[in-house]
Structures are given as C-alpha cells and as structure tokens.
Chains A and B, each alone.
Chain A
Amino acid sequence: GENVEQHPSTLSVQEGDSAVIKCTYSDSASNYFPWYKQELGKGPQLIIDIRSNVGEKKDQRIAVTLNKTAKHFSLHITETQPEDSAVYFCAAKRTSYGKLTFGQGTILTVHP
C-alpha cells in the first residue's frame, strides 16, 4: 500500500519568513495530493490540493509543487503570519480508489 513520509516534524519560523514542508510517497499510481491544516481543537481543513496533471498550484500565500518522477510534493507558505501556526498534514491517494494515506504531520509555529 501507499506510504507517505513528511518532514520536518516541527518547523519554527519568524513572522514574514517562508515555510516549506516536504512529503514523499511510495505508490507511483497516486495522483491526488491534498494538504490539510489542523488548528488546535478543530478538524483538518483542506487548504490546497494538486493532481498529477499539473506540477504547481498557487493560492495567494500558499503553493504546492509536485515532482512525479521523484515522487515528492511540497507545501510552500510565504509571508507567514502567526495565524498560520497549526499542524499541517500531507496526503496521497489514487483518484477514485477511496483511501487517503496521511503523512505524520508538521507542527508549524510562526513567532511574531
């Protein structure tokens, strides 16, 4: 089955800096890669996703890149703000296969 590795486990940045979280996956047939943000006491919130027919997707300060050859994808947050502090999870799946496999999570702390 699919295996997703996520790094780093914790990330601390100053407000205004950029943050990058990286994930690798094992199943070359995976073609859907979402990212979730989980704030304390809340459920995971989908913040951005990418499908294997594109290499990069951007939404304001958030971007995701995908390298299918190397089987890795990354989340980029620019101009970080204290409200970006949360746990971030990457995931991977084959479209229409039904099961998301999650990474271990990254605790992002943005210091004012």
Chain B
Amino acid sequence: SAVISQKPSRDICQRGTSLTIQCQVDSQVTMMFWYRQQPGQSLTLIATANQGSEATYESGFVIDKFPISRPNLTFSTLTVSNMSPEDSSIYLCSVEDHHAVYQETQYFGPGTRLLVL
C-alpha cells in the first residue's frame, strides 16, 4: 500500500492568514484527493488533484479558497486561504492505488490538524 506523509501535522493560525499543506507519496499515483473532516464529522471531498491541470472541485469548494497544486505524480499541496475559525478541521490527503484493472484502493495520510483563532 502507498505510504503518505503530510506536513505540517498540526498548526494554529490567525484568521485572515493562509496555510499550505503538503502531501508526499512514496510511489507514483494517478489519483490524489483532498478531504476535510470537521470536528466529530465524516469526511468531505474538497477536490481531486490532477497532475498537470487544474484541480476538480466539489460543490461548495472553490479554487480561490482552496488552491491546489499537483506538480508531479507523488506530490500535491492544498492551501487554505484567508482562514476563518470555520476552517478549523482536519485536512486529509488521499491517493488511489490501482493494483489491477478495476481494483483500485484508496489510502489516507495522517492528516493536518488546523485550528484557526
């Protein structure tokens, strides 16, 4: 299975600032995703990070607020811009591993715990 690391693991930020979260995978993967998990809640997909093109955002999430980069097949960043306390969440990087045709499996990183004051 893919090994995923995220930086930072946690941060406390002031409102109005921005934070960039990094995601590194130990192998090349086609699909990378970013999720948000608000306190005590389930996982919500923010966007799919596409290598070499703009990310695909889910309803309710916009590029100006959550810009994403995907420069290669092992790395992606998510920026949370102009933060407010409502952005306090766990942000999770996820990758899809295609070990066989129609046999993909999705793995998650350890998460970045963000608190906005």
Interface residues of chain A, those whose CB is within 8 Å of chain B, are 32, 34, 36, 41-46, 49, 51, 89, 95-96, 98-100, 102-105
Contact = CB atoms under 8 A, between A and B. Distances in A.
Interface class of chain A by DSSP: loop
Interface residues of B, number: 21
Contact of B42 (A89, A98, A99): A89
B108 interface: yes
A45 B92 CA distance: 12
A95 B106 contact: no
A34 B92 contact: no
A45 B108 contact: yes
13 contacts: A36-B108, A46-B106, A46-B107, A46-B108, A89-B43, A95-B102, A95-B103, A96-B104, A98-B31, A98-B48, A99-B48, A102-B42, A105-B41
B42 A43 contact: no
Contact of A42 (B1, B104, B107, B110): B110
